[in-house]
Amino acid sequence: MSSKSNIIIYDTTLRDGTQGEGISFSVISKIRLTEKLDQFGVDYIEGGWPGSNPRDKEFFDKAKGIKFSHAKLAAFGSTRRSGVKVEDDQQLKLLLEAETPVVTIFGKSWLLHVTEVLRTTAEENILMIEQSVRFLVDHNKEVVYDAEHFYDGYSDNPEYAIESLKAAERGGAKFLVLCDTNGGKLVNEVENITSVVKSNFPNTNIGVHCHNDAGLGVAVSLAGIDAGAVMVHGTMNGFGERNGNANLTSIIPNLSIKMGYGINCLNNLKNLRDLSLLVDDLANQQHDIKAPFVGASSFAHKGGVHANAAAKVARSYEHIEPKLVGNRQRVLVSDMSGRSSIIMKAREIGVDLAEKSSELKEFIDELKSLENKGYEYESADASFKLLLNNWLKKKKEYFKLLHYRVITEKDKISGSMISEATVKLSIDGVESYKVSESSGPVDALDHALRQALVPFFPIINEVTLKDYNVRILPGDKGSDARVLVHIESSDGDEIWGTVGASDNIIEASWEALLDSVTYKLQKEDS
């Protein structure tokens, strides 16, 4: 158990996170993620702004049917408009109609925004804050007050910034949240200002809400906690406007593992990586393999010396145990790999090479030769395993390729592109010849290959192509350059990567496709 006080985790992925470029969640996805965040142990979930768009209004209508096990759902909005009576403000009425137990509203702390953006007076802004908070409290809402641009406002006029917080406190806000809305403050600034605020409000809960414009979103959030804040705002995977919000997938493990603070989701920390992946999936985003704690590369070792040392004593090159956050140690194979790396990697994929350690030079030389030709096996474990099994004479030949052909043509009338692929295989002496059409050559080739195999190996129906990437390899051949093709496939149980490299993109794609189906067949035999 932690020796420090409990910190409240406030997730704003569904509201502030969706302000990030390219980030959007359907209503169904928002409901699903709300349920997952609650299961994970997040304390507050900010669902959206009911007055800003029909999607958020629909979300709050559907969210009324969720049975929360722990989290409190919050609707987000602003203080009343200038010159409008609080009971007549339509946006505040919509916040009440959301029927959430918590309402979070933001108000202005920086005089620049009061006079130049809202175009009202300093005195009216103070009334807007106090009256809006009191109106919501009088309607039995727990109020979280976001002091927008607080750190910039304090730097400009500390007396007014503090007075704006006092207005929210007088109104009955349960939390006063200090926002680094522009994301430009340094660690010492946030720490010092938060300390001052805490000394001025010793009996009020202080929170921090930081952005990542200076690359310090996580660091300044942690500094705010150490300075006395008890609530931290952030988003999963750092989604958010401009450079994003403070990333909860880094904040949460740092608070609990590194800093010793108590958090409600501590017992579910092992599910952090899965939650991070789910958020990316629901937002249709590629997962950041370099993300601290949860990225695929977080505990990946490539250099032979590093890999060898990590195998002997994991903490020699790993700052925490990967399993604490649901991650794992990985060994990457490349032309930098030595004997120890290959043995470790083989063990990771279920092949024991301990007895063949002295014979590995031939395999390592072949691996380095292939890497020199453009093949990369770091994210293609399936192709690496097939290569290894071939060297061990354990690669079964399930079929022989007799030929394949791909033709692409453009219909002059419709303007559409049509690709036709033919594949002829020999399987146990029986020829299987199939033709397939698609809008693209690789898809046509993929379908023709599967159709040729399925009558003999029905399990190929389980395999789906999840991702397809092409990269031009460095060189001076221009359009005649070599390309690397990486494919991710899945059978619903496992996802695996395969590669191909060639100066012909179709051939490189064929190699990766061939490895994909061969891996599935070999997997079923093992």
Last residue of a domain, one of 456, 485, 501: 456
The sign one gets for the Cα dihedral 331, 332, 336, 340 is positive
Examine the domain organization and report whether 37 and 86 are in the same domain.
yes
The pLDDT value given to residue 287: 84
Domain end, chosen from 224, 249, 282, is at 282
**Residue 492 domain-assigned?**
no
Domain assignment of residue 522, yes or no: no
The answer to whether residues 278 and 317 belong to one domain is no
Same domain assignment for residues 270 and 304: no
* Residue-wise pLDDT tens digits, 343-375: 766 776 677 776 666 667 777 777 778 877 888
> Higher model confidence: residue 155 or residue 336?
155
Give the dihedral of Cα atoms 245, 247, 248, 253; nearest 10 deg.
-150
Query: Do residues 16 and 270 touch, judged by C-beta distance below 8 A?
Result: no
Q: Is the pLDDT of residue 1 over 50?
A: no
Average pLDDT of the residues in 123-129: 96
521 lies in a domain?
Answer: no
pTM of this prediction?
A: 0.73
Mean pLDDT (whole number) for 193-220: 97
Other CB atoms within 10 Å distance of the CB of residue 330: 21
Quick check: is 323 in a domain? Answer: yes
Distance in angstroms (rounded) separating the CA atoms of residues 386 and 367: 12
Query: Residue 121 and residue 522: Cα distance in Å, rounded?
Result: 73
State whether residue 146 is helix, strand or coil.
Answer: strand
What is the number of alpha carbons within 13 Å of residue 205 lying toward its C-beta?
A: 17
What pLDDT is stored for residue 354 in this prediction? Answer: 63
Q: Higher model confidence: residue 421 or residue 376? A: 421
Q: Is residue 432 part of a domain?
A: yes
Q: How much of the chain exceeds pLDDT 90, in percent?
A: 67
User: Looking at the structure, do residues 76 and 213 belong to the same domain, yes or no?
Assistant: yes
Domain of 426: which CATH number?
A: 3.30.160
Q: Give CA separation, 427 vs 399, 401, 432, 459, in Å.
A: 5, 9, 7, 15
349 and 209, same domain (yes or no): no
Segment 22-68, tens digit of pLDDT = 999 999 999 999 999 999 999 999 999 997 788 898 999 999 999 99
Among 52-66, 156-170, 211-225, 468-482, the minimum mean pLDDT is found in: 468-482
E-strand stretches of 277-427: 300-301, 330-331, 400-410, 417-427
Indicate whether 17 and 73 sit together in one domain: yes
Token match 């990985």: residue?
330
CB within 8 Å of 478: residues ≥ 6 apart: none
Which residues, including other chains, have CB under 8 Å from residue 315's CB and lie 6 or more apart? none
Report phi then psi at 234, rounded to 5: 180, 180
Handedness of CA 81, 87, 93, 99 (dihedral sign): positive
Q: What is the pLDDT of residue 479?
A: 54
Q: How many domains does the chain have?
A: 3
Task: Look at residues 221, 252, 282 and tell me which one is the last residue of a structural domain.
Answer: 282
Give residue 52's pLDDT.
Answer: 75
Count, in order, helices (H) and strands (E) of the chain. 17, 16
pLDDT above 80: residue 240: yes
Is residue 192 located within the same domain as residue 337? no
| Same domain flag for 49 and 126 | yes
pLDDT digits (tens, 9 = 90+) for 159-198: 999 999 999 999 999 999 999 999 999 999 999 999 999 9
Average pLDDT over residues 224-233: 97
Yes or no: say if 437 and 419 are a contact pair by the CB < 8 Å rule: yes
Strand extents, DSSP E, 142-235:
142-148, 175-180, 205-210, 231-234
Cβ distance 132 to 171 under 8 Å? Answer: yes
Structure tokens at 34: 């709300």
**pLDDT tens by residue, 265-317:** 999 999 999 999 899 989 988 888 899 999 988 887 765 555 555 555 566 66
93 and 137 co-located in one domain? yes
Out of 34-43, 205-214, 468-477, which region has the weakest mean confidence (pLDDT)? 468-477
Q: The CATH number of the domain where 87 resides is what?
A: 3.20.20.70
Mean pLDDT of the chain: 89
Residue 517, in any domain of the structure: no
Q: Span 479-485, mean pLDDT?
A: 77
Question: Is the domain of 189 the same as that of 271?
Answer: yes
pLDDT at 312: 56
Burial of 123 (C-beta count, 10 Å sphere; 0-12/13-18/19+): exposed
* pLDDT score recorded for residue 2: 41
The answer to whether residues 304 and 278 belong to one domain is: no
Q: Is it the case that residue 225 has pLDDT exceeding 60?
A: yes
- CB 444, CB 421: distance < 8 Å: yes
The pLDDT value recorded for residue 105 is 97
Give the confidence band of 381 by pLDDT, cuts at 50, 70, 90.
Answer: confident
**What are 1's two structure tokens?**
């158990």
Find all residues with CB under 8 Å of 414, minimum gap 6, and list them. Answer: none
DSSP letter, residue 338: -
**What integer pLDDT is reported at residue 449 of this predicted model?**
96
What is the domain extent for residue 425?
399-456
Rounded distance between C-alpha atoms, residue 306 and residue 331, angstroms: 10
351 within some domain: yes
For residue 486, tell me if it sits in a domain.
no
Q: Do 17 and 164 belong to one domain?
A: yes
